[in-house]
Structure 1
Amino acid sequence: MREMSPFRLLISREKALETILSTVRPIRRTEKVPIEEAGGRVLAVDIRAERDVPPFDRAAMDGYAVKAEDTFKASQFNPVRLKIVGVLHAGESTGRRIRNGECIRIATGCQIPPGANAVVIMEVTEEKDGSVLVFKAVHPGANIALRGEDIKRGEDILRRGDVLTPARIGVLASLGYGDVLVYQRPRVAVIPTGSEVCDVGKPLGEGQVYDVNSYTLSSIILENGASVTRSPIVPDEIDEIRSAVTKHLDHDLIVFSGGSSVGEKDLLVRVVEELGELLFHGVQIKPGKPTLFGLVEETPIFGMPGYPTSCLSNAYIFLVPAVRRMARLP
């Protein structure tokens, strides 16, 4: 029977985190995704506006497009009468030029017709016999959103590395982008180990408990910008653990649950040392002391404690910063 090997020199939480963050690297792979699927992703290219937003002068309120000068003498007791020469509903425009004494009823967002330089809001008007009475004067430019008022052509709008929030997705849509270049999500393999754990949905054997850790770890990883491959449970056999490592080396990060404590069947330490480099094993933290971190063929490997509370705690302390760094998230 092989004797249990004690932890090597325990390192501090700060040193462990420093080691992890100096080892993992931000993902450089990129992909184009539809903007409706780009929320929370990290932009991989600078965005410069190729058009003005709005692309034309438009009505900011429902009302009447007018020559502002025609309304200067309007008041509550002495309204100005203007002839209605057209109606514009949402999405419509006209080439009809407004002359003095005329107006066009206009909906919010419509292009301002030629000759008009203001919009009188509905609330200060009264329609009567094909005309409108205006009870309040407006100044030139009133209730008009000018071309380029939101975004000007040639303006730098978004930068590479920006996280695409809903507001930024809206900006992309306003510029006509249907898809956008983003960094790929890190690919993380989550591998539960131990003959004592049983997958959910199956009957428990004698002395077994359900696999909790691979599900909590997967949830945390997904929440922090990565994609997850969840492996079937790997038994406590060195060949099986070695095979699990080599099989998942095409991932950006491998996370084992269990197999990092000091015990005769905790074999992950031996496998990492055999295949790569063990960077630390054991952290001065409680719960969560039996945490492992190493490198195999440039793929970082975590060994998280098997006890669910310790696993969850250390996932937030060590795994989340690593995943977010790889995903280029703040």
Structure 2
Amino acid sequence: MISAAAAREIVMAHVPVLPASPVPLLDALGLILTEDVVSGLAFPTCDSSAMDGFAVRVPDVAAATDAAPVSLTIAFTVAAGDTADRILPKGVTCRIMTGARIPSGADAVIMLEDVTEASGRITVREAIPAGEFIRPCGEDLLAGATILQRGTRLTPPRLALLAAIGRTEVMVHRRPQVAILSTGDEVIEPGQPLQPGQIYNSNAYAMAAWIQEAGAVPVRMPIVPDSLDATRRLLRKALTYDAVVTSGGVSMGEFDFIGKALASMGTVHFTRVAQQPGKPFTFATVGRKPIFGLPGNPSATMVGLELYVRPALRGMMGHPNRYRPMVLARLDEALTLKSDRMQFLRARVDHQPGGYTARLTGPQGSGLITAMAWANALLVIPTGTGRLLAGTGVTAMILEPELLLEGGLGGDLLTWG
């Protein structure tokens, strides 16, 4: 049996970063660039109007005052999207829309509300500076500029920036496709009548959601019956994808076949981890493809997804930040714990004026779901810890990033292991 920190180190050492692939912009949110993006054009691509108004030659209105206003004829209209190279003669104006190309000769725009319009003419009552309400060509970026660097995570504004320079796809580490396998004759799909001794396949939904939240693509496979041949057959099919996550079948029981099947297919790196929940956890590789054999108890499955599967998938996508943030929280209650393994306790962390506080969300049995459903953090309790008094500081792994925004991070982030 190895420590949780050693298990995580082994997992991350055997997770390949997926090669660069072209991905359409609309599918690239959250992915990591594998190229430096150089703009082939300036933005804006030409001098354009920042307002709805009237384009003028500054000398034509330089003498305008309330006492001696200047009147200009509206010669034409320039709409946004008009690509014609228009010329504004001296002594006249043109109506212009926001984003429209500035006609040659014009060097300022007057807002609609700053003039009086009547009978095809405008009256101007004050001088304006050159460049007023004009967005110059290249104001935002210049042609040839590197606008995004390799290793950048693609956010909505960055995708908009790529679209603004005409890109339709981008080179990134693609999303891994992850096969999901639940095991056991007792497991049935939700919606079917439940008989005594059967359970619904909740773990498949937990696995799919965790995988999707990490940015990868879950692929549901059939439930694996309690048979070594069936386990091998479905694992081989699952290995056509980038990674495999299973639940159940990894303990020491007569009908636990995941470990036996993997031993004949690839390299099993470990089968037991000194943690609670989730001691029976098998990690293997077949070629360069990782297989995560998680325990079948729901809380143990979900803790394994959080501790190992999520960071591994983010690693496959080249994410620099693979782990959840961790903060110091003070217990609202006293706890008496087993001391032979590292504990990952399901808890609710709140931000108070004095910092973060933590309280367990319910009974901590591995087979229970409710405590995990209400948790927004895992409390990381080191091996050898017995009784903890109320007010004791503990490390909290934050599962909901909104909590950090609410608390303003509250100081330095921590690590475990």
Structure-1-length-normalised TM-score: 0.90
SS of 1:292's partner is: strand
Aligned with 1:137 (options 124, 127, 148): 127
Letter in 2 for 1:321: P
SS of 1:123's partner is: helix
- 1:76 to partner: Cα distance: 4.3
Q: 1:74 to 1:261 in 2, by over 3 A?
A: farther
Give the equivalent residue in structure 2 for 1:55: 45
Assess if the C-alpha contact under 8 Å between 2:115 and 2:122 holds in 1.
Answer: yes
Give the equivalent residue in structure 1 for 2:7: 16
- Equivalent-residue separation in structure 2 for 1:81 and 1:181 (angstroms): 55
Give the equivalent residue in structure 1 for 2:197: 207
Q: 1:78 to 1:262 in 2, by over 3 A?
A: farther
Letter in 1 for 2:217: S
Unaligned runs of 5+ in 2: 322-417
Q: Deviations over 1:197-254 (max 9, x none)?
A: 1122222233101111011101111221222221111112222222222222222211
| 1:287 pairs with 2:266 | no
- Equivalent-residue separation in structure 1 for 2:270 and 2:172 (angstroms): 33
Assess if the C-alpha contact under 8 Å between 1:293 and 1:300 holds in 2.
Answer: yes
| 1:26 pairs with 2:12 | no
Letter in 2 for 1:323: L
Give the equivalent residue in structure 2 for 1:4: none
Give the equivalent residue in structure 2 for 1:250: 240
Aligned with 1:99 (options 89, 109, 112): 89
SS of 1:275's partner is: coil
SS of 1:202's partner is: coil
Give the equivalent residue in structure 1 for 2:304: 314
| 1:84 pairs with 2:78 | no
- 1:44 to partner: Cα distance: 3.5
Structure-2-length-normalised TM-score: 0.72
- 1:120 to partner: Cα distance: 0.9
Letter in 2 for 1:201: G
Q: Between Structure 1 and Structure 2, which shows a larger proportion of strand residues?
A: 2
SS of 1:65's partner is: strand
Q: 1:223 to 1:77 in 2, by over 3 A?
A: farther
Letter in 1 for 2:87: R
Assess if the C-alpha contact under 8 Å between 1:249 and 1:297 holds in 2.
Answer: no
- Equivalent-residue separation in structure 2 for 1:297 and 1:100 (angstroms): 75
- Equivalent-residue separation in structure 1 for 2:231 and 2:210 (angstroms): 23
Assess if the C-alpha contact under 8 Å between 1:194 and 1:233 holds in 2.
Answer: yes
Residue identity over aligned pairs, in percent, reads: 38
Assess if the C-alpha contact under 8 Å between 2:17 and 2:173 holds in 1.
Answer: no
Assess if the C-alpha contact under 8 Å between 1:189 and 1:248 holds in 2.
Answer: yes
- Equivalent-residue separation in structure 1 for 2:77 and 2:115 (angstroms): 15
| 1:217 pairs with 2:219 | no
Unaligned runs of 5+ in 1: 1-8
Assess if the C-alpha contact under 8 Å between 2:20 and 2:171 holds in 1.
Answer: no
- 1:82 to partner: Cα distance: 2.2
Give the equivalent residue in structure 1 for 2:354: none
Give the equivalent residue in structure 1 for 2:252: 262
- 1:275 to partner: Cα distance: 2.5
Assess if the C-alpha contact under 8 Å between 1:21 and 1:325 holds in 2.
Answer: yes
SS of 1:291's partner is: strand
- 1:95 to partner: Cα distance: 4.3
List aligned pairs for 1:72-221, cutoff 5 A.
72-92=62-82, 95-221=85-211
- Equivalent-residue separation in structure 2 for 1:18 and 1:311 (angstroms): 19
Flag the structure with more relative contact order, 1 or 2, with Cα contacts below 8 A and sequence separation at least 6.
1
Assess if the C-alpha contact under 8 Å between 1:186 and 1:227 holds in 2.
Answer: yes
Q: Deviations over 1:49-88 (max 9, x none)?
A: 1111111100011111011233333344543222222222
- Equivalent-residue separation in structure 1 for 2:67 and 2:204 (angstroms): 75
- Equivalent-residue separation in structure 2 for 1:219 and 1:19 (angstroms): 24
SS of 2:101's partner is: coil
Letter in 2 for 1:31: P
Assess if the C-alpha contact under 8 Å between 2:116 and 2:124 holds in 1.
Answer: yes
RMSD: 1.9
SS of 1:108's partner is: coil
The size of the alignment, in residue pairs, is 320
Assess if the C-alpha contact under 8 Å between 2:65 and 2:127 holds in 1.
Answer: yes
Assess if the C-alpha contact under 8 Å between 1:50 and 1:175 holds in 2.
Answer: yes
Q: 1:192 to 1:159 in 2, by over 3 A?
A: same
- Equivalent-residue separation in structure 2 for 1:271 and 1:130 (angstroms): 85
- Equivalent-residue separation in structure 1 for 2:42 and 2:133 (angstroms): 19
Q: 1:207 to 1:111 in 2, by over 3 A?
A: same
